């Protein structure tokens, strides 16, 4: 490391000095998820009133970006809403940037989004060869670095070094300023204990998974329950290609159920582009050769997902209408999350030989004390279509699995009504008939 230490010391500064390079009108990008750089964010926010029209872009932060609370100087955008972003949105302090997650590196490199005047990222400490690792948020970090004018890294010695295949590091020669500020990596609380409905849905999906399957599981009680069921199963040689690495994969790996030996690409590796979970997860990832972090354009590329046989994608939904259109990111006009990689993995799993894509949800939800069906005649006005009806195959509720792919509209509606909550079936039948979803010889009901 000695050959780089002189350069390191020359670039080492305080957060306050580093963010002085930001000018009014600049575009700023932060690193994503648990890697939002708190020291740089705070120092930049302290320039509120001095700066004007500074745009700051992040993705799914676990801390409140302080710049968002200073709208007189900053406009804050997020590419996928976290609970933090949702609260900011309610106050008019956060804007949404829609995208397919897997496309974001290409969007940056092609200039579809404004290039960053300054990129601010949290990283590991520098290694002996002058490299900093992006930690558990590879995502589009390398692409953002490639197009940024200036780069500031916040070094945090607690960040796990996440081994990968490519584009998971940045060299000191590319960095303009270095700030040292360590602290715990934000962890997410454990998922709420799964209820009976979650357990029924998880059991239905687990029955569909075979030896050698390649998994994508997200966060939440239901994917966690699937992981626990699979960890206690006699399945063999499961693989992982997921955008998110979560705690639910650890037990399966430690019990020898995940080996990756049947994968056609990235064999023996659990591939992912970001991690969110407990400290146990971050400790597990640190220099673990069983795991490989990759940029999101590789983990989420449908054609690349399909290169592994028996790809299984499990994703949640907010609601689905009788035509099979899936909304997974909004409650009417109230934005909840984002498209993320749901469409990427739904397409990739369908294209995979033996692959299966699942959209899962409880049959009902509670809204203002009222029970409502998640299977609806039409999407709530203002709702986003996350997965179009042309790509939806297996929809799962606690009442069963409906495979819609290739079916005409009246059969799709009938299948969805078949897995709806019994209390809502009659009104769904009536709605389907009123919309003309039938033929002369086949009628719903």
Confidence band for 192, pLDDT divided at 50, 70 and 90: low
53 φψ region: left (φ > 0), alpha (ψ -120 to 50), beta (else): left
* Domains of the chain by start residue, with CATH: 2-180 (3.40.1080.10), 196-434 (3.40.1080.20)
- Owner of token pair 């005409």: 408
In the numeric block, which tokens belong to residue 1?
């490391």
Q: What is the DSSP letter of 72?
A: T
Contact 30, 58 (CB under 8 A): yes
**pLDDT tens-digit map of 59-109:** 999 999 999 999 999 999 999 999 999 999 999 999 999 999 999 999 999
Report the alpha-carbon distance of residue 310 to residue 121 in Å, rounded. Answer: 36
Report the alpha-carbon distance of residue 247 to residue 270 in Å, rounded. Answer: 13
What is the average pLDDT value for the chain, to the nearest integer?
Answer: 95
Quick one: how far is CA 200 from the chain centroid? 24
What pLDDT score was predicted for residue 321? 98
End-to-end CA distance of the chain: 73
Beta bridge partners of 7: none
In the chain, the percentage of residues whose pLDDT exceeds 90 is 89
Beta bridge partners of 245: 275
Instruction: Write b or e for each residue in 391-419: b if 16 or more Cβ atoms lie within 10 A of its Cβ, otherwise e.
Output: bbbbbbbbbebbebeeeebbbbbbbbbeb
Told to judge if 243 belongs to the known catalytic residues of this protein, a careful annotator would answer yes
Beta bridge partners of 75: 55
Alpha helices in 15-149 (DSSP H): 15-18, 38-45, 83-90, 104-110, 141-147
What's the whole-model pTM score?
0.95
In the numeric block, which tokens belong to residue 425?
């079936």
Residue among 100, 10, 67 at smallest CA distance from 339:
100
What SS3 state is found at 443? coil
> Choosing from 90, 168, 210, 243, which is the catalytic residue?
243
**pLDDT tens-digit map of 155-173:** 999 999 999 989 999 999 9
- Owner of token pair 């939800």: 365
């Amino acid at each position: 490391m000695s050959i780089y230490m002189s350069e390191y010391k020359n670039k080492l500064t305080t957060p306050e000095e580093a963010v002085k390079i930001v000018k009014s009108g600049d575009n700023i990008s932060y690193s994503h998820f648990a890697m939002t750089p708190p020291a740089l964010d705070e120092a930049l926010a302290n320039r509120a009133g001095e700066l004007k029209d500074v745009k700051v872009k992040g993705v799914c932060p676990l801390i409140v970006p302080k710049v968002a609370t200073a709208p007189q100087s900053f406009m804050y955008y997020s590419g996928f809403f976290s609970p933090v972003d949702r609260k900011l949105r309610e106050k008019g302090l956060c804007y949404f940037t829609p995208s397919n997650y897997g496309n974001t590196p290409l969007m940056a490199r092609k200039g579809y989004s404004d290039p960053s005047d300054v990129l601010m990222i949290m990283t590991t400490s520098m290694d002996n060869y002058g490299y900093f690792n992006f930690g558990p948020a590879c995502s589009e970090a390398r692409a953002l670095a490639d197009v940024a004018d200036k780069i500031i890294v916040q070094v945090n010695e607690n960040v796990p070094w996440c081994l990968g295949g490519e584009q998971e590091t940045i060299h000191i020669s590319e960095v303009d300023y270095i700030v040292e500020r360590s602290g715990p990596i934000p962890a997410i609380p454990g998922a709420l204990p799964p209820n009976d409905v979650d357990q029924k849905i998880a059991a239905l999906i687990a029955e569909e998974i075979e030896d050698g399957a390649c998994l994508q599981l997200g966060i939440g009680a239901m994917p966690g329950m699937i992981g626990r069921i699979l960890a206690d199963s006699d399945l063999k040689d499961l693989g992982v290609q997921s955008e998110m690495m979560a705690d639910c994969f650890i037990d399966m790996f430690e019990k020898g159920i995940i080996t990756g030996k049947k994968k056609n690409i990235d064999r023996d590796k659990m591939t992912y582009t970001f991690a969110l979970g407990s400290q146990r997860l971050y400790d597990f990832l640190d220099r673990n050769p069983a795991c490989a972090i990759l940029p999101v354009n590789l983990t989420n590329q449908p054609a690349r997902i399909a290169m592994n046989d028996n790809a299984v994608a499990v994703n949640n939904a907010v609601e689905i209408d009788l035509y099979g259109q899936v909304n997974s990111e909004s409650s009417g006009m109230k934005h909840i999350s984002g498209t993320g990689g749901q469409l990427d993995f739904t397409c990739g799993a369908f294209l995979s030989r033996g692959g299966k894509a699942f959209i899962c949800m409880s049959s009902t939800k509670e809204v203002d004390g009222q029970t409502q069906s998640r299977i609806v005649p039409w999407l709530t006005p203002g709702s986003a279509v996350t997965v179009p009806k042309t790509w939806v195959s297996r929809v799962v509720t606690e009442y069963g699995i409906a495979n819609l792919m290739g079916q005409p509209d009246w059969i799709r509606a009938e299948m969805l009504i078949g897995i709806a909550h019994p209390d809502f079936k009659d009104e769904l039948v009536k709605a389907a008939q009123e919309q003309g979803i039938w033929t002369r010889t086949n009628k719903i009901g």
